[in-house]
Amino acid sequence: MTKPLALIVEDDPVLSEIFSMALEGDFETEMIPDGQTALTRLADVTPTVVILDLHMPGAPGQEVLAKIRADERFSKTRVILATADARQANMIYNDADIVLLKPISPSQLKELAKRLGT
C-alpha cells in the first residue's frame, strides 16, 4: 500500500529535514525549498498534507496556500502552517487546518499530521 504524500515546503534545510524525519514513517515525504517550486510541483501531485512555511523565496506561503484552497483537486489536502510569524499566521488562520508556531516539536508535528492524514 502506498503511503500518503506529505509536501514539506520549508526554506530552512535543517527544519525541512527534521520535519521529513518526523513524518517519514507514516508519509512519503518530499522536501521543497521555495514557494515557486511548490507551486510547480502542485501541478503534478495531490498531497494529503502540506507543511507550509509562510516566509519563503520564490513565492510566499500565502500564495501557495491560496492556490491549494482555490483548486478543487486539493479539497482533501490538509495544510499545517509552520511559521515564526504569529501576526501573519493570525491573518490567514482560517485558511489553514492547523497553525504551529516555531519552534515545533517533531513529535507534535507527526501526531497532528497523522490525525489530519487519515
Instruction: Write the pLDDT tens digit of every residue in 5-24.
Output: 999 999 999 999 999 999 99
Rg (CA), the chain: 13
Identify the three-state secondary structure at position 29.
strand
Domain 5-117 CATH superfamily: Response regulator (3.40.50.2300)
Delimit the domains of the chain by residue range.
5-117
pLDDT higher than 80, residue 105: yes
- Quote the pLDDT of residue 53: 95
CA distance 68 to 62: 10
Name the grid cell of 11: 526554506
**Parallel, antiparallel, or unpaired for β 78-83 and 98-101?**
parallel
Name the grid cell of 71: 483548486
Identify the three-state secondary structure at position 79.
strand
- Quote the pLDDT of residue 88: 84
Instruction: Write the pLDDT tens digit of every residue in 21-70.
Output: 999 999 999 999 999 999 999 999 999 999 999 999 999 999 999 999 99
